[in-house]
Amino acid sequence: MSDARDTATVGLSGRRLVLGVAGGIAAYKAAELCRLFVKAGASVRVVMTAAAARFIGPLTLQALSGHPVSQDLFDPGTEAEIGHVRLADEAELIVIAPATADCIARLAAGLADDLLAAVVLAGRGPVLLAPAMNVNMWENPLTQANLARLLGPAGGGRFSTVGPDRGELACGWIGAGRLIEPAEIAAAAARLLAPGDLSGRRVVVSAGPTREPIDDVRFIGNRSSGKMGAALAASAAARGAEVTFLAGPGTPAVAAGPGRVTRVPFETAADLERALADAADGADAVVMAAAVADFRPRARAAGKLSRRAAGAPTLELVEVPDLLAGLGGRRRQSGKPGPFLVGFAAEVAGGSAMDERAGAKLREKGCDAVVANDVGAPGIGFDAADNAVTVLFADGARADIPRASKRAVADRLWDLFAPRLAELARG
């Protein structure tokens, strides 16, 4: 194992983990994960489902963890002292690897008829799921809905996921569904237990498109999906920030935890402006990932403009105030150093032209950083799962974040912003 991985799991030393193993072919990899946890100094109690015990011997996990493996909700020995509640209370983190489709469904339904489900339901702490299954099971809307339920408000902010990977699956299919490498799971567990570098910070993240009404049924919108902003909000909450999440239409839900997430929906730029005025006051950072309209129809027609009655209308557009520039201007007037202001620059050209335009936005809007991305490039940008960005800072610093999932890009962005927020807070 490399030094880098040792560093990644150093936060696990002395921590109490429950390793839940569900019944899938990847269950054998739980042995390696258990070994990594123990090597990092964690105390590990393994809970296996009956199906898991058909894939990997409990004795293996007992030997690796140094403790008896719990399997039975009705074990007269341990259940005399309500073993499942004790396991749940003592765990600082429950890691389920592999989390099968069945396991995810059972947790989403709040079932408690086997030991693993009962431990999760009885616990109040974080649960890290490392899904592994056949690609069709993974992509099945039922599985995705179950997962979304766990990651959304019903999950109480306790659940997060790591993986799955794409690749060749045991069933012969190629696609998403492979258990992510045990070292990655261990590193994700360490990150969840680390004291967040944004704890105590209040951050505002705006995401998604605006809709500017033409009449009561039509609007001018844009292609923003809100995924990048949602990833930024989720990443900040995972690092302990208290997040005000200003969410445009269609923006995905964001799980809280350990920090809180307050979702404030908006539709028009004017709604967003009002929400920002409330939220930005006293915030440590405002990240404007929302794709705000630059123009809106001067007036909203009542009802539905009728082709039959009046033919094609001519729309008169008026400019929408630049909300980010407004925040920058107000900060300058107040003489205060904060909040730390981050803008996004959606450009349709990469390279030096993108840098130039993003640099101009940085100066004109008076923000501290601009995250530029080439929305014209294939596979990244609007509605894509991935992104690749260049960050320009007002102090001249610059960072390139290569193509990765939007969540990974968000994590890297907070890696860059968190020390600057800490510096601001020190005054």
Catalytically active residues, by annotation:
171
Q: What is the DSSP string of 241-280?
A: -EEEEEE-TTPPP----SS-EEEEE--SHHHHHHHHHHHH
Name the pairing type of β-strands 340-347 and 317-319. unpaired
Tell me whether residue 179 or residue 207 sits nearer to ligand CTP (CB atom). Answer: 207
CB of 259 to ligand CTP, least distance (A): 22
How far apart CA 225 and CA 250 sit, in angstroms, is 7
Tell me whether residue 324 or residue 421 sits nearer to ligand CTP (CB atom). Answer: 324
CA distances from 132 to 117, 267, 393 (A): 17, 37, 40
Tell me whether residue 46 or residue 323 sits nearer to ligand CTP (CB atom). Answer: 323
Q: Which residues pair with 399 in a beta bridge?
A: 391
Binding site for ligand CTP (CB under 6 A): 269, 288, 290, 292, 294, 320, 322-324, 343-346, 361
Tell me whether residue 181 or residue 212 sits nearer to ligand CTP (CB atom). Answer: 212
CB of 99 to ligand CTP, least distance (A): 36
Tell me whether residue 245 or residue 344 sits nearer to ligand CTP (CB atom). Answer: 344
How far apart CA 186 and CA 181 sit, in angstroms, is 9
Give rounded-to-5 percent helix, strand, coil for the chain: 40, 25, 35
CB of 316 to ligand CTP, least distance (A): 18
CB of 360 to ligand CTP, least distance (A): 9
Contacts of 335 (CB under 8 A, 6+ apart): none
How far apart CA 307 and CA 313 sit, in angstroms, is 8
How far apart CA 265 and CA 249 sit, in angstroms, is 7
How far apart CA 74 and CA 421 sit, in angstroms, is 50
Residue 231's φ and ψ, nearest 5 degrees, are -65, -40
| 248-274: burial string, b at 16+ Cβ within 10 Å, e else | beebbbbbbbbbebebbebbbbbbbbe
CB of 31 to ligand CTP, least distance (A): 47
CB of 41 to ligand CTP, least distance (A): 43
Categorise residue 257: left if φ over 0, alpha if ψ from -120 to 50, beta otherwise.
left
